[in-house]
Amino acid sequence: MKMENFLKISTVPALALIVGGTLYPIYKLVELSLFEVRGLRMEYTFVGLKNFQTVFQDPLFVNSLQITAFFTITSVVIEIILGTILAVLIAELKSQILQKFFLFILSMTFIISPVAVALIWRFILYPDLGLIDFLTTNIFNIQIRWLGDPFWAKISAVIVDVWHWTSFVVLIVYAGYISLPLPIFEAAQIDGATGFQRFFRISLPLLKPTIAVALFFRTIDVLQAFPELWQLTFGGPAFATTILNILAYIATFQMMNVNYAAIVSLVLAVISLGVTAIYALYLRRRGE
């Protein structure tokens, strides 16, 4: 058998798995969104766009959409900025041992499972007994209901996500930074460029493709966040942290409304595909 034929045959199962694992779930989401499912026998009744109208007019869905946008944008922006700064600072250390030490310490955060992270932070933010609550109450004389107040619950969710995943951005940007050509920096230093000038005028423009990769992965990951946020706040209080993924879960297992859940999941899939399309267009413009 020729190698070309062998490669064609060997890729068929993989392609079938990818197509089946992607297209079939999307097909089922579309089907559930256009039909009304009733009873244990799962009787389907075609209702067209009626389900979409019901969901899009639901204040809970609108609230969830806004929370998802806030949580995603805030978390990703902070992680990208903080991760880029930390990566450059670590890469600029003269000692290789110190670089590896800090990278190792930082990598310990994102290898912890999301559920464990949520449980750790629930204890840290626990009223009266938690470390942060103890510090804010006894040192600053400010008592904050971190997980009991809708506003602070959203802030707490962002803090936990940033703590958990900033190190992921650090590792990606660090790998891109140490691969940048040294002669450019040496020439800039000889010309009298300061550290800030070298960072903003040389490092940052050259790091754009690397930062774009980190931005893409973190955006998709935050959009699909569930176990960490669910174990931290269970979507509360008063649905203050109910992102689309959590809303789909609540609609399925608590509201027992699979049509509602299908539309929420479909909206989330469309948003994710939109982010992927933007990233693909960015790569195409760069000719990569």
Residue 269 CB-density burial (10 A; 0-12 exposed, 13-18 middle, 19+ buried):
middle
> Packing angle between helix 150-177 and helix 96-110, nearest 10 degrees?
140
Give the number of other CB atoms < 10 A from CB of residue 127: 14
Between the two ends of the chain, the Cα-to-Cα distance in Å is: 34
Residue 41 has what pLDDT? Answer: 61
Q: pLDDT tens digits for the chain (288 residues)? A: 444 454 445 566 766 676 666 777 888 888 888 888 775 566 777 888 888 999 999 999 999 999 999 999 999 999 999 999 999 999 988 889 999 999 999 988 888 999 999 999 999 988 877 788 778 877 777 788 889 899 999 999 999 999 999 999 999 999 999 998 888 877 877 877 777 888 888 888 889 999 999 999 999 999 989 999 999 999 989 899 999 999 999 998 988 888 999 999 999 999 998 998 998 888 788 765
Residue 42 has what pLDDT? Answer: 66
Residue 1 has what pLDDT? Answer: 46
- Identify the three-state secondary structure at position 99: helix
Q: Please give the full DSSP string across 17-80, using - where no structure is assigned.
A: HHHHHHHHHHHHHHHHHHEEEETTTTEEEE-TTHHHHHHHT-HHHHHHHHHHHHHHHHHHHHHH
Pair of tokens at residue 74 = 């805030």
Q: Is residue 208 within 8 Å of residue 285, measured between CB atoms?
A: no
What ranges do the domains of the chain cover? Answer: 44-286
Pair of tokens at residue 85 = 């700064």
Q: Please give the full DSSP string across 203-225, using - where no structure is assigned.
A: IHHHTHHHHHHHHHHHHHHHHT-
Residue 200 has what pLDDT? Answer: 82
The CATH superfamily of 44-286 is MetI-like (1.10.3720.10)
- Block residue for tokens 């267009």: 281
Cα 110 to Cα 97: distance, rounded to the nearest angstrom: 21
